[in-house]
Amino acid sequence: MENLVGRILTVERVRELNAKDWFYQILKESPRIHEIYPGIEDPILEGAIDHHIHVYPDFVQRNQDMIQVAVDAARAKMRAVAFKDHYNLTAGCAYLAQKHVDALLAREELPNGVEVYGGVGLNFGMNPEVVRIALQYPRCRMVWFPTFEATGYYRAAGKGPGGVPMVDKGGKVLPEVVRIMEIATENRAGIGFGHTDFFELRPLAAAAKEVCARVVLDHPLLELNKLTMDEMKELVDLGAYVGTYCQPMLPSLYQPVVDPFETFRVMREIGAERCIAASDFGQLLHVDAIAGMRIFIRGMLAFGATEGELEWMFKKNPAHLLCLD
């Protein structure tokens, strides 16, 4: 049995990635790296949507606020951005950020506008009434299931029993969770499945398919809530999108030991038409969100992704998730 670093990455692969000749090996294996130049990502960013960005104010510090990210996105000619809070509603602030962007555009201080959206995080519990009210706010387009308080995350992190459950002990989705999916569908909002594990994700995806909910697996390549390829394929077959985010494709101080090629391999095996790109950035030790998207696109092009594949990941699929199609 291979020695593993996390669920998937092997010690042998880590040694390859850290080898003294890795830089030359990657150039040999990925000749398109020589074709990359600043701005090659511009056509992909134009019209792109980032549905998963963290901004200040938040319960922790972030490296940008909503207006700063929205302005960066507008300058990049992106179509839309959506902001996540693990615990609260971001739609109210998104409305105000939209007003500010529109005012800058009217005064010709921005060359383009951008659509600004928010959503609601459910770490305080799976309360359908909370979601029903949240979706009455303008600019509310996402519902994020529990992350750090998910029962599945408690299991995966070894925190013991507790957290916010979404299925019962027999694996049946709780009625209030089904109702939340129905409310999201009725109000044209997408759902992020949060940080839970496959035990919950399998029945959640099946229930989402029953009510025609539009759902995405939040960064399933991040060790925080890592899924295997077989697990992702099973969930994709039930209609879920795979979230292929800047975390963890871009190694960082938060997760320095990653395989940057994994995201490309997953995209190819799953199919770009079932993947959604996003930054998931905003953390203080990362680059800014839109800068991260630029590096992400450059990397995917360098590794061999086509513009057509990236159009699915950055434009078509997130538009469908947010019901903007």
**Alpha carbon of residue 109 to chain centroid:** 30
Measured CA to CA, the distance from residue 90 to residue 54 in angstroms comes to 10
Cβ pair 171, 199 in contact under 8 A: yes
When the pLDDT of each residue in the chain is averaged and rounded to a whole number, the result is 96
Residues 137-184: pLDDT tens digits?
A: 999 999 999 999 999 999 988 898 899 999 999 999 999 999 999 999
The whole-number pLDDT of residue 2 equals 74
Residues 28-54: pLDDT tens digits?
A: 889 999 999 999 999 999 999 999 999
Nearest to 298 by CA among 31, 21, 42: 42
Whether residue 1 is predicted with pLDDT greater than 80 in this model: the reply is: no
Question: 25 or 167: whose pLDDT is higher?
Answer: 167
Domains and CATH numbers, the chain: 4-321 (3.20.20.140)
Cβ pair 23, 54 in contact under 8 A: no
Residues 94-152: pLDDT tens digits?
A: 999 999 999 999 999 999 999 999 999 999 999 999 999 999 999 999 999 999 999 99
Report the range of poorest mean pLDDT among 67-71, 157-161, 237-241. Answer: 157-161
Whether residue 292 is predicted with pLDDT greater than 60 in this model: the reply is: yes
Residues 207-223: pLDDT tens digits?
A: 999 999 999 999 999 99
Query: What is the DSSP secondary structure assignment for residue 68, as one 8-state letter?
Result: H
Per DSSP, the residues of 215-263 read EEE--TTSGGG---HHHHHHHHHTTPEEEEEHHHHS--SSS----THHH
In single-letter form, the type of residue at position 121 comes to G
Q: Supply φ then ψ for residue 242, to 5 degrees.
A: -95, 125
pTM: 0.96
Whether residue 275 is predicted with pLDDT greater than 80 in this model: the reply is: yes
Summarize the confidence of residues 5-29 as an average pLDDT: 92
